[in-house]
Structure 1
Amino acid sequence: EVPVDAPLSGVVHTAGVLDDGVFGSLTAERLAGVLRPKVDAVLALHEVTRGLDLDAFVVYSSASGVLGGPGQGNYSAANAFLDAFALWRRAQGLPAVSLAWGLWGDTGGMAGALDRTDQARMRRSGVLPLSVEEGMALFDTAIGADEPVLIPVKFDLTALAAQAGAGQLASMLQGLVRRPRRTATAGGPVSAISLSDRLAGLPEEEQTEMLLDLVRDEVAVVLGHTDAENIVPGQAFSEIGFDSLTAVELRNRLMRVAGIPLAATLIFDYPSPVAITEHLRAELIPDAASGTVQPADVDEAGLRKALASVPLERLQELGVLQQLLRLVAAAPGAADSGATSPASSETGQSAAHLIADMDVAGLIERAMGNTTN
């Protein structure tokens, strides 16, 4: 329907869809849903315009396809295709440029779907939002450049330098900042004191306090809070805005700080800051776990009586109330106090099999109450 007296002179493709999630949660459908507006649409535009004398064929890609992005395996793949496609089209003698954009700071479009936690994660990665004026200036510059793929991103060089100092900067960005020099004292190389060593010399109460402060600090960073005092020690992660991506990020940050391996299902197994604190103490100071009561040593009747005497407010404060309620709801015979019926037994077995078959993302989502399955 392009009029003859005003022929088509250029194509600019900007469409995209987000469907973020940890890699193990991606399905063929979630991959196809994100690839369709990128891959299928651009191929269609290429086919219907390849015979025209275009001045420009511009596709909006993303820096996630170049640098990677947490939880964006499908989106990264779609944009990596666009970058490769621009190179291929240029090789055919046709105009093409792929712009692997960083974050735009306006409140519309895909940036509008980012919540405070997502934005905080972007800032920690060293990417700053572009204003509309900055973005359009970069667009004009890119159109005039003779390059098939460009990466218009606004970097926070201070944040990148901090990543370099911690040994966490992506190799592709290392040329943007100077790596800090490592110096040695007269007594020899500086050796870092491990967290375990720092804890070993403290009384038990101070060990717990130090670890809890560390956990709350990391939780605050992941959620984008400026003050860790806002993080209630016993509050369940499901109640303070965690999802599968932030759960994995918290686990990764705690692994780096503690220097020990932690399960990807960390907040599923330990659903509050205080629960993670106790787990870290047991892992970092083996003697702290030596007095742990084993299931075989438990007086079941006595334990049930003791649990019944604990106020619900205290269980809520410790972050275990919701877990206990889920266990009660899933337990065989939960519907009545009589003998276990075959149907309820089957329900309990089905629940156990369901949990055993879940991937990491599924377990985390269920633990946080973000699923109805």
Structure 2
Amino acid sequence: KVAARKLVTSHAFHTSMMDPILDAFEADVRAAKPKAPRHRIVSCTTGEWLSEAEASDPMYWVRHLRSAVRFAQGVKTLSEGTDALLIEVGPGDTLVSLSKLCVPGAEAIASTRHPRRAGDDVVCFLEAIARAFCAGVRIDFEACHRGESPRRVELPCTPFERERYWVDPAEEREGELVEARLADPADWTFGVTWHRTAAPLGGALPGRVLVVGGEPEVVDAVRRTLAEAGVEVECTADWRGEEKAEAVVDLRLFASLDGLDGVAAEERCFLAPLSAMREVAAGVERGGEAPAALFVSTGLQQVFEEPVEPEKALVLGVVKAARAEIAGARARSVDVGEGVDVSAVGGIVAAELAELCGDEGAEAASAWRAVGGEAATRWLAGVERLGLGAQGDAGESGVGPRIAPAPPTIPSPHPPRGDRPKPRRLRTGATVLITGGLGGIGLALAEGLAEDHGARLALLSRRGLPDENSGEERDRAVLAAVERMRSAGATVLALAADVTDADSLGAAIERAEAELGPIEAVIHAAGVAGGGLMALRRDEDAMAVLAPKVRGTRLLERALAHRSLDFFALCSSLATAVEGVGQADYFAANAFLDSYARSRAARGDGGVVAIGWEAWRDVGMARETRIPGAGGALAEGREESLAFGLSSEEGRDVFERVVASTLPHVLISTRDLELRIREAAREARRVIEAGNDGTDMPAEASKAAKAKGHARPKLDTAYAAPEGETQTALVQLWEDLLGIDGLGADDDFFELGGNSLLLMQLSAHLKERFEVTLTMRELFDTPTVARLAERIDSLALLADVGGAEGGDDEETEEFRL
């Protein structure tokens, strides 16, 4: 069936139906002699600013008539680099809703009511003016009230909505005081350690398993072991997430990445598994079940001091995101050491698969190593407090600066590197290159180096130093910081460069060394804030997050290969240790940095360190990251994280402690990290997992349900009573999920505090109540009760027309016109 809706329009613009009139249209436009506009305009054809040449070219307007509208790109261009306020001029708020989807967090206002909505046009317009005024727009009130004699009305400073609030006792968290901030900065430093565990207990294997990729002898070992256990096995070279199987064993990362360039490596390690799990997520939204997914690799984890291939760590972002975002998902990374016999791989896969299929809350990653001539044993990662003192040494509360310790009775399968590397240095007057140097963390660290060490600083950023006449608050803060450093006697060189472009980066380094002398230390703080559910994340957006950290690091390594650096600090994130939602690309990029630092340490280079930063309160990615559609408890959790975050002064102190140590990877947490990891995993599960009967609400929905009884807040949309059985049932469902009484048919789900996580719960309830399955994108497109009811009723009508042919197992595909 093809679901469609007639588009009410005077002409079929931007379609082939315009072709017959294009020549005549060009002639009319040419006769009109178009000129450049007086005000800046974003082109619907290109999505970029309209140039004078385009505006005066008749053929451009022909393309404008015929080509597709680049609305999303146009909105992004309009909002780029500014706190833009978008105002929809015309009936309704369709463009407002679309703008908020294109640019999460965008401030957008509808100026007139939708024709289908009841209400007074003048009141709607005045409310739009009021919202614009509150957003900081200068309003010409004389023009608004021309011909009238308005009076000033004294209003209270606080709106009184006659709502009673009461502070309920805090929920107990199984005795874990995650909220407690550790007093001693030495206790904020944590390291990843590995401990040997027993092999997984035997369990039931899935009936059908898909084995993907891998070297022939490894595939044969896995296939043979599973087949002997009675499992139906299908082997394939690729996996797109569409195949019908109870479990998938992906062996594509078991082979070495040697011979692959950066793009091909990222495709194999990140995009391929991301695409597959995205399709799995879509299948779950359609009512299916997620297969257990086992990503088997070699050379991914560093249990002892063995070499690793950093790009393989990218798959960890997909694994963690799948576990946090897909209902019922069971995903795990299993790394097999090079000393493990190939014949044993089948048994390892069978053991891991049996446990994974039986325990959805099991570990996200494990490793198998053969040590001391013994058979392969299983290892799991944990965290331990390091207690790094001011000189990088371990304090009394720490376990000492070490990497993934092995019990002393078990020899490492890899030879030791010899003497431990000497501590890194923060020399006075050193020349330090900082990528992302005008960003929040980069600039904060630069100020510390200038003030405490008299460093000569080369600050790289994509835009370079802002214009002195810029009115942007962020630009003024950057200029003020640079001026403070220079006034204190520091030499500061700000350069515009793209760390993902070899020529641009090389030219910047060449100029920096010509003016400041040889580069002696590097801080790689360049990055792009990630954020977005895996099911909705486009490949190009995800790769843009990876680029500065993955390609940028590799290009820095190449450009500075012949220099002996005092230190090479990589700004990673605590997100690699704490499970979260909407962070697949950001987690993957930082997991690469962590692995890269360990790989350099395994080669004897002690100068590289990855710092898994806690959130910084005032600057950094934690403040900039936005997850589209996220609000409510998720937004509250983010604000809570910032409240416990580092001040700039604390961040600089921790940086010096880490750099002074010999560790290749240090995690920073102002709270007990082990408790945070357990709490985050538990909370993510509660938010995502929901029973189809609606009795097992995620935490966010249950919190809202407890608060049921709050009155409908004042919204931009006038109240419209629900009409008909479908709208009435939906209103009841929304009220239960959101904890708000008196909702109307035209109320916006997201304006009421809903988010993409609650949409997942809503989808399950819709399937149970109406026997329809809607994807996340469809739910985003129908944010009001009225529009959602219309969609549900149309699907019911199509089902009635089509009859009851085909059972629940019949595959259907919907094409949207």
1:324 is matched with 789
CA distance in 2, matches of 1:157, 1:110: 17
CA contact (8 A) 1:66 1:80 kept: no
- TM-score, structure 1 length as denominator? 0.50
Which residue of structure 2 lines up, in the alignment, with residue 99 of structure 1?
Answer: 611
In 2, Cα distance between equivalents of 1:87 and 1:162:
25
Residue 750 (structure 2) pairs with residue 238 (structure 1): yes
Give the aligned partner of residue 122 of structure 1.
Answer: 638
Q: Which residue of 1 aligns with 2:650?
A: 134
CA deviation vs aligned residue, 1:266-306 (integer Å, no higher than 9, x gap):
37x28xxxxxxxx7xx8xxxxxxxxx9x9xxxxxxxxxxxx
Q: 1:226-305 residue pairs with structure 2 within 5 A?
A: 231-232=740-741, 234=743, 237-245=749-757, 247-248=759-760, 251=761, 265-266=763-764, 269=766
CA contact (8 A) 2:533 2:582 kept: yes
Q: What's the offset of the Cα at 1:11?
A: 0.7
Cα distance change on mapping 1:246 and 1:10 into 2, 3 Å: farther
Contact conserved, 1:128 with 1:156, CA < 8 A, in 2? no
Match of 2:814, SS? helix
Structure 1 counterpart of 2:814, from 340, 353, 363: 353
- Greater mean alpha carbon deviation, residues 228-237 or residues 80-89: 228-237
CA separation of 1:266 and 1:18: change in aligned 2, threshold 3 A: farther
- 2:601 aligned residue (81, 90, 93): 90
Residue in 2 aligned with 1:254? none
**Which residue among 566, 571, 587 is the counterpart of 1:55?**
566
Question: What is the aligned partner in structure 2 of residue 224 from structure 1?
Answer: none
1:136 deviation in Å? 1.4
Please report how far the alpha carbon of residue 75 of structure 1 lies from its aligned counterpart in structure 2 after TM superposition: 1.1
Secondary structure at the aligned position of 2:571 is classed as: strand
- In the TM superposition, what whole-angstrom CA distance separates every residue of 1:117-154 from its partner, at most 9, and x where no partner exists? 55422367898322212211111111111110001122
C-alpha contact 1:22 1:245 (8 A) present in aligned 2: no
Residue-by-residue CA offset, 1:29-75 (whole Å, 9 max, x unaligned): 23311110110001100111121010010011111122332111111
Deviation of 1:157 after TM superposition, in Å, equals 8.0
Take 1:109 and 1:161, find their aligned partners in 2: how far apart are those partners?
20
Q: Distance in 1 between matches of 2:674 and 2:546?
A: 34
> 1:99 Cα deviation (Å)?
0.5
Cα pair 2:574 2:669 within 8 Å, conserved: yes
| 1:74 equivalent in alignment to 2:585 | yes
Counterpart of 1:168 in structure 2 is 682
In the other structure, the counterpart of 1:26 is 537
Query: Of the candidates 690, 697, 705, which is equivalent to residue 216 of structure 1?
Result: 705
Task: Tell me by how many angstroms 1:217 deviates.
Answer: 3.6
- AA aligned to 1:353 is E
User: Structure 1 residues 39 and 157, CA, compared in 2 at 3 Å: closer, same or farther?
Assistant: closer
C-alpha displacement of 1:28: 2.9
The 1-side partners of 2:708 and 2:530 are apart by: 24
In structure 2, the CA distance between the partners of 1:122 and 1:11, relative to structure 1 (3 Å rule), is: same
What is the identity, as a one-letter code, of the residue corresponding to 1:321?
A
SS in 1 for 2:531: coil
- In structure 1, the residue matched to 2:518 is 7
Are the structure 2 counterparts of residues 134 and 246 from structure 1 closer, same or farther at C-alpha, using a change threshold of 3 Å?
farther
TM-score by length of 2: 0.25
For structure 2, the residue ranges without an aligned partner over 5 or more in a row are 1-510, 685-692, 696-700, 710-736, 772-783, 798-812
Question: 2:529, 2:624 within 8 Å by CA — same for their partners in 1?
Answer: no
Q: Identity over aligned residues, as a percent? A: 26
SS at match of 1:238: coil
Aligned residues of 2:706 and 2:739 also touching (Cα < 8 A): no
Cα deviation 1:227-260 (Å, max 9, x = unaligned)? x998346355333243324544xx4xxxxxxxxx
Match of 1:181 in 2: none
Paired with 1:47 and 1:218, the residues of 2 have a C-alpha distance of 56
User: 1:19, CA displacement in angstroms?
Assistant: 3.4
Is the contact between residue 60 and residue 100 of structure 1 (CA under 8 Å) also seen in structure 2? Answer: yes
User: Is the CA contact (8 Å cut-off) linking 1:142 and 1:150 kept in structure 2?
Assistant: yes
Going from structure 1 to structure 2, the CA distance change for 1:218 and 1:96 (only over 3 Å counts) comes to farther
Equivalent residue letter for 2:814: H
Give the counterpart letter for 1:39 in structure 2.
V
In structure 2, C-alpha distance between the alignment counterparts of 1:113 and 1:155, rounded to whole Å:
21
Higher fraction of helix: 1
Contact 1:104 1:131 in 2 (8 A): yes
1:148-197 Cα deviation digits (max 9, x unpaired): 00011222789859949xx9389xxxxxxxxxxxxxxxxxxxxxxxxx9x
Is contact 1:103–1:130 with CA below 8 Å preserved after alignment? yes
The match for 1:151 is 667
Aligned residues: 233
Q: CA deviation at 1:90?
A: 1.9
CA distance in 2, matches of 1:219, 1:82: 45
Separation in 2, partners of 1:214, 1:105: 26
Give the AA of the match of 1:20: G
Larger Rg: 2
Higher percent of residues as strand: 2
Q: Measure how far apart 1:15 and its partner are.
A: 1.5
Query: Contact (CA 8 Å) 2:616, 2:648: kept in 1 or not?
Result: yes
Q: Whole-Å Cα distance in 1 between the matches of residues 578 and 516 of structure 2?
A: 43
Distance 1:219 1:73 in 2: 33
Amino acid at match of 2:594: D
Alpha carbons of structure 1 residues 38 and 216: separation in structure 2 relative to 1, 3 Å: same
Q: 1: distance between equivalents of 2:553 and 2:741?
A: 48
Map 1:297-316; keep pairs closer than 5 Å.
none
**Where do 5+ consecutive residues of structure 1 fail to align?**
171-195, 200-211, 221-227, 252-263, 271-278, 283-291, 295-318, 333-351, 356-372
**What is the aligned-residue RMSD (CA, Å)?**
4.6
In structure 2, C-alpha distance between the alignment counterparts of 1:6 and 1:216, rounded to whole Å: 63
CA shift for structure 1 position 20: 1.9
How far did 1:113 drift? 4.2
